[in-house]
Chains A and B, each alone.
Chain A
Amino acid sequence: MAAIATATLVSPPRRLQTVAAALAMVIVIALASALYMEENGHWVTGMTNYVVWGLPHVFAIFLIVAASGALNVASIASVFGRTTYKPLAPLSGLLAIALLAGGLSVLVLDLGRPDRLLVAMLNQNLSSIFAWNIFLYSGFFAVVGVYLWTMLAKRYSRFTTAAGTAAFVWRLVLTTGTGSIFGFLVARDAFHSAIMAPLFIAMSLAYGLAVFLLVLVALSKLGGPDVPAELIGRLGKLLGILVAAQLYFVAVFHLTNLYAAKGIALERYLLLEGGIYPWLFWVGQVILGGVLPLVLCLGRRTTSASLLLAAALVVLGGLAQVYFIVIGGQSYPMSVLPDWVLHSSFGDGEISRYVPTLPEGLLGLGGMALALVLVLVGCSVLRILPTSLEHHK
């Protein structure tokens, strides 16, 4: 096997610095927002006792789910032995770590008591899916970290396949765990479903690849290797297939709900009458994030530009989808006496409103910026990127 020439990112200094500074600014603003939320309490956000998870969780879950999918390219190279993707495997691993770190930071900074992170580490309730996830996330850092190491330290390259396989299995389990955070909620019809885990895996594959594609092309503008149109074309086709798979699971999820009588009212709310949520579903998730990318990726004539547009749409549609799942699901009334008409001073029987505020949105964006900064730092100090992608066609 021919060794792949790699290098650290060397870009026209001005450009890299400008981008890094802009991202750092976003992170600082996010930290300030988090501080503001913690100082005043969560009433300054749109989150309430009725809608307890809001915009920060949308961003965090998107990033965590995308993290696992960002490993796609590395898995194809190391697990399925497609050597053409080998030069991109390290970036794939780095991006996975960065996205996870970004998502977790948002999640942690939104806690009511982020200062008690250590408490969460030291006291674990083993029957909690959440506690398992803490273990799965730390393990993901370790496993992907080792995998990266075997790729970067040529001496250990004989372990790459083994480490890559471990990372592949680990990320499937991780996304199953993330999906189960919702799937195991027996109390809420909008979440309680065994399809949540596979749906999340399908989502992760699509989001992760879309983010990877965008980051790869962005890096090429910052001193990374030029990305041949042919490579974009191949990744774009794969993205199309993953988006199709994702849409399939979405369809199964809602059709299963519609099959049971008790799910019909829920689906009517989510898909037709629930105010903003049907819009997010049909326009955001299905058309912009699903059908359009599908046409762009799998259509007859594809260009690099159209494929990148498709990737951007998958990211936007993905955010809409996570918003729809997390917040739409919470907004649907959960009745203590199903089929009765309820009134109370605590919003029983009513649709819960959620209006996000600026700080929580900024906190979420900060997570994205952190992920990108980590990619930049990683590419600058490590030999992540190949010098050229051309001759690996």
Chain B
Amino acid sequence: MRVFRPFLLFIAVAAVLVGAGTMLAVAETPAAGTTLASAEPMPTASASSGHCIMPTPFMRRNHMQLLMHDRRTEVHQGVREQGHNLEDCMNCHAVRDEQGRAVPITDSRHFCNKCHGSAAVAIDCFSCHRSTPESGRANAEASR
């Protein structure tokens, strides 16, 4: 039994380190209350084309892979493909408030929060990326 005692120590050390890390990771998760009632969230109608780049069931499962793949090729190889980036997601899926302004990710009505809230999966994208359409183009299209 003695032999396993050092392992206990190791586990204690690791647990403290991991625990500290997790605490901070948890702190990054969007605040509680971002959950939306709908169990089957539907994307808001696309502003420009009326449909997404892929069928909804596919997107629900695979949007993260698409984003992941494109971020590699875009950042590291400079491939700036239209229609395959977060910007276009934001432009089409913007949710607008009563004043017609697109709501940011801190708002529970934001498109991404519809699932991510109930699925309790933290989104890291918007710690750097803008969560609303920026250009005049998207706003113009949205108000059309």
Task: Find the A residue at minimum CB distance from B29.
Answer: A115
Chain B residues with CB below 8 A from A383, complex form: 2, 5
CB contacts under 8 Å to B, within A107-137, are 108-109, 114-115, 117
Complex contact B9–A377 (CB within 8 A): yes
For A34, the closest partner residue in chain B by CB is: B24
- Measured CA separation A377–B17 after assembly (Å): 15
How far is A168 from B124 in the complex, measured between Cα atoms in Å? 42
Min C-beta distance of A109 to chain B, whole Å: 6
Q: Render B1-35 as a binary contact track against A, CB cut-off 8 A, 1 for contact.
A: 01101101110110011001101110110000000
Q: How far is the CA of A370 from the CA of B15 in the complex (A)?
A: 12
Say whether A217 faces chain B, with CB atoms less than 8 Å apart.
no
B5 / chain A contacts, CB cutoff of 8 Å:
152, 381-383
Q: Residues 95-113 of chain B: 1 if any A CB is under 8 Å from the residue's CB, otherwise 0? A: 0000000000000000000
* A1 in contact (CB, < 8 A): no
Q: Identify whether the interface residues of A are mostly helix, strand, loop, or mixed.
A: helix
In the complex, what distance in Å separates the CA atom of A382 from the CA atom of B25?
A: 32
Q: Annotate A130-164 by CB proximity to B: 1 below 8 A, 0 otherwise.
A: 00000000000100010011001111100000000
| Interface residue stretch chosen among A80-88, A97-105, A272-280 | A97-105
Do B2 and A104 have beta carbons less than 8 Å apart? no
Q: Are B12 and A35 in contact (CB under 8 A)?
A: no
**A377–B27 CB distance below 8 A:** no
List the A residue with the shortest CB-CB distance to B25.
Answer: A115
Residues of A contacting B27 in the complex (Cβ-Cβ under 8 angstroms)? 35, 38-39
Which one, B2, B21, B28, contacts A108 given CB within 8 A?
B21
CB-nearest residue of chain A to B5: A382
Nearest B residue to A150 via CB reads B6
Q: How far is the CB of A303 from chain B (nearest CB, A)?
A: 35
Chain B residues with Cβ below 8 Å from A39 are 27
Least CB distance from A97 to B in Å reads 7
Residue A245, interface by CB 8 Å: no
Chain A, residue nearest B19 (CB): A31
Q: How many Å from the CB of B18 to the closest CB on chain A?
A: 9
- Docked pose: A39 CA to B27 CA in angstroms: 8
Q: Are A149 and B3 in touch, CB under 8 angstroms?
A: yes
Residues on A with C-beta less than 8 A from B13 are 97-98, 101, 141, 374
How many of chain B's residues touch chain A, expressed as a range? 10 to 19
- In the docked arrangement, what's the CA distance between A38 and B29, Å? 13
A105→B24 contact, CB < 8 A: no
**Residues of chain A contacted by B124 (CB below 8 angstroms):** 115
Instruction: Answer yes or no: A378 CB below 8 A from chain B CBs.
Output: yes
Given known A-B contacts A145-B6, A148-B6, A149-B6, A377 and B12 have beta carbons under 8 A apart: yes
Which of A141, A153, A370 has a CB less than 8 Å from the CB of B2? A153
CB-CB under 8 A for A381 and B9, given A101-B17, A115-B28, A153-B2: yes
Bound complex: CA A145 to CA B5 (Å): 11
Chain A hits for B3, CB < 8 A: 149, 152-153, 155-156
Within 8 A of A (CB), among B36-51: none
Complex contact B12–A374 (CB within 8 A): yes
Closest Cβ of chain A: how far from B99's Cβ, in Å? 29
Chain B neighbourhood of A98, CB < 8 A: 13
Interface hits, A11-37 → B, CB 8 Å: 31, 34-35
Q: How far is the CA of A154 from the CA of B9 in the complex (A)?
A: 18
Which A residues contact B (CB, under 8 angstroms)?
31, 34-35, 38-39, 94, 97-98, 101, 104-105, 108-109, 114-115, 117, 141, 145, 148-149, 152-156, 370, 374, 377-378, 381-383
Q: Interface residues, chain B, CB within 8 Å of chain A? A: 2-3, 5-6, 8-10, 12-13, 16-17, 20-21, 23-25, 27-28, 124
The 3 closest A-B CB pairs, nearest first, are A115-B25, A153-B3, A149-B6
Known: A377-B9, A381-B5, A382-B8. 10 other contacts (CB 8 A): A35-B27, A38-B28, A104-B17, A105-B20, A108-B20, A153-B6, A154-B2, A374-B12, A377-B12, A378-B12
Would you list 11 pairs from A and B whose C-beta atoms are within 8 A, ordered by A residue? A31-B23, A97-B9, A101-B16, A114-B20, A115-B21, A145-B9, A153-B2, A381-B5, A381-B9, A382-B5, A382-B8
